[in-house]
Amino acid sequence: MQQRDLYQHHVNPGHYAELLEAKAQRLRDLFADFNPPSLQVHASSPSHFRLRAEFRLWHDGDRCFYAMFEPGDKSKVYEVREFPVASHLINELMVRLLEEIQPSELLRRKLFQVEFLTTLSGDALITMIYHKPLGDEWRAEAEALQARLGYPIVGRSRKQKLVLERDYVSEALQVDGKTLHYRQIEGGFTQPNGGMNQQMLSWARSAAADIHHDGNNGQNNHEPSSDLLELYCGNGNFSMALADTFRRVLATEISKTSVAAAQVNIADNQLDNVVIARLSSEEFVQALRGERTFERLSGVDLSHYDFRTVLVDPPRAGLDDESVKQVQGYDNIIYISCNPNTLHDNLQVLCNTHEIRRFALFDQFPYTDHIETGVVLTRKNPS
């Protein structure tokens, strides 16, 4: 077993600009065949940008510590004393939690993983995962720990989840002078880089403004006349930010956890023009075509919507063939991608009918090969 600070050798803010430009050039090269406009590069903070992190707990006698493993070789264990890519609050709680549980055999025994979820607005949630059932004694001691730390704790073990206070954090993002409120539930997907998320939401709002401007032949119109369809909406991350840029927003998401959070977010942001439907992208395409009806769409009259713009934020696999065909039916496509290779594949078809008007890189994960891409496509004028 080796003990050292694994990340101090891999994260060097002094090299960040160089690494980001290398990513940008890879993206330019990959999409050169589409002749896109100039790439807009959105840089992350070079350190303390990640709002969530999870660590294995390694036990060495009566001592335990956060551990990571050599990629491809789990026999090499590295002690993690600090995590410079994570938020300042995560780094603070890492230390405080270990100090608190070290003297407690009940809290420490068979604890094998700890997860931290934090926000830009200063909230946090700690999840402690065990290889043992959690009973009343554990709850009592964990509640005392929660009181000392000042942040809620969730305990998990096989087929067991104990919520001592709450299982979510509340985030407040600042976007274009607006404060947007989000509930982020433990175990649900959220954007890990809050600062970059704010940049993405601002970019999407700017894209929507351009779409409306072009659609009105350059005339200013402060009352949007068309609606937004959103697929893979998650907890309504983009839905909340774009609600005031469209007449109405109809968004779909298959995860029950994310849909529940989205409903809270609609209420917290006092929106009356956003509807979230718990449907997969494939199911919603079937509903739009009239091929199937869904109880989960009861009360939603699809014929009353005027969808000219669609926003998609699919998983790494990208859009399936039927969804690609469906989104081609809209004048404007805002596509957020976490996998440039599947985005490239989808664009092979989409660019038969549409052209790329915006092309952006969002560096969600500095110091990794991961690239988040945004493109805006508009329908080609018939020749």
What's the rounded Cα separation, in Å, for the pair 126 and 97?
A: 9
Contact at 8 Å (CB) between 364 and 195? no
Helix, coil or strand: residue 185: strand
Q: In terms of Cα–Cα distance, which of 228, 203, 232 is closest to 362? A: 203
* H-state helical runs in 87-135: 88-101, 105-108
Sign of CA dihedral 41, 340, 277, 196: negative
CA triple 167-170-173, angle to 5 deg: 150
Going by their DSSP bridges, the two strands 52-60 and 73-79 should be labelled as unpaired
50 strand-pairing partners: 86, 193
**Chain centre to alpha carbon of residue 344:** 21
One of 186, 338, 351, 355 is an active-site residue; which one? Answer: 338
- Amino acid at site 199: Q
Cα dist from 175 to 178, 179, 209, 230, whole Å: 5, 6, 14, 19
5-24 as b/e, with b when 16 or more CB fall inside 10 Å?
Answer: ebbeeebeeeebeebbeebb
Tell me whether residue 338 is one of the annotated catalytic residues: yes
For the chain, helix (H) and strand (E) counts, in that order, are: 10, 17
Query: Is residue 285 within 8 Å of 262, Cβ to Cβ?
Result: no
- Among 181, 89, 82, 160, which Cα is nearest to 126's? 89
User: Side-chain half-sphere of 344: how many Cα atoms within 13 Å?
Assistant: 14
The yes-or-no answer on residue 233 being catalytic is no
Cα–Cα dist 358/375, whole Å: 5
Distance CA 352, CA 197 (A): 30
* Amino acid, single-letter form, for residue 259: V
- Burial degree of 150 (CB within 10 A; 0-12, 13-18, 19+): exposed
- Catalytic residue numbers read 338, 372
